[in-house]
Every structure is written in structure tokens, then in C-alpha cells.
Amino acid sequence: GQNIDQPTEMTATEGAIVQINCTYQTSGFNGLFWYQQHAGEAPTFLSYNVLDGLEEKGRFSSFLSRSKGYSYLLLKELQMKDSASYLCAVRLRDYKLSFGAGTTVTVRA
């Protein structure tokens, strides 16, 4: 089976930076995704890493180390609207996407 771990909850202050870590042990690796999910809504795509290194997209960045089975999502200049669950997902070689349980981020004023 697949094992994808991420913290359950994190709290941060508006304007701050938060880093959400994700570690994985999977049979076959074909890319790592981060999704954002607001309460009661569908997940939406945030970022994708398939090679080692940092991918930056506005206030959000995602990092991948394949040798360590590790990724993080960095959220900068936090806004209240960033309060949501953040899902780490690993794509396997047969194009199945396996998700972690998600990290709920609460942004406080």
C-alpha cells in the first residue's frame, strides 16, 4: 500500500509563512501534487513536482526531494482566504493518485 503522511492541523497568523510537510513511501513514483480544499468544496489543483527542487507560483511554492520521499508546500503572506485543507498526493506509474489525509490550516487575524 501507499503511505503518505502530513500533519493534521496547523495554525498561523495573517501575513505569516506556513510550511506543510509531506512524507511518502510508495511503490512507484510519477509526480507529487498539492491540492487546496475549502470546507464543503471540491479540491483544486495548486502545484506539481516531478523533479527535485522548488517550484514557485505566486505566494505558493512546493519542494520535492525524491531520494528522501519528502515534499513541502510553502504558503507566504498568508491571507484569511488561505484557511483550508491542503492535500498532498502522489501519482503512481499507473496514473492512480494516492492522497494523504490532509492538513487543515487555520489563519488567524
Partner 1 sequence: DAGITQSPRHKVTETGTPVTLRCHQTENHRYMYWYRQDPGHGLRLIHYSYGVKDTDKGEVSDGYSVSRSKTEDFLLTLESATSSQTSVYFCAISPLAGTNTGELFFGEGSRLTVL
Cα–Cα distance for residue pair 48/34, rounded to 1 Å: 7
* Residue from the set 24, 33, 63, 72 that interacts with partner 1 by CB under 8 A: 33
> According to the binding rule CB under 8 A, does residue 41 interact with partner 1?
yes
Q: Which stretch in 12-20, 21-29, 41-49, 71-79 sits in contact with partner 1 by CB under 8 A? A: 41-49
CA 62 to chain centre: 7
Examine residue 64 and tell whether it contacts partner 1 (CB under 8 A).
no
User: Which positions from 86 through 105 interact with partner 1, judged by CB under 8 A?
Assistant: 87, 89, 91, 94-102
Distance, in Å, from the CA atom of 102 to the CA atom of 56, rounded to the nearest integer, reads 21
Q: Identify the residue among 27, 39, 42, 67 touching partner 1 (CB under 8 A).
A: 42
Q: At closest approach, how far in Å is the CB of 61 from partner 1?
A: 16
Residues forming contacts to partner 1 in the complex (CB under 8 A) are 1-2, 30-31, 33, 41-45, 48, 50, 87, 89, 91, 94-102
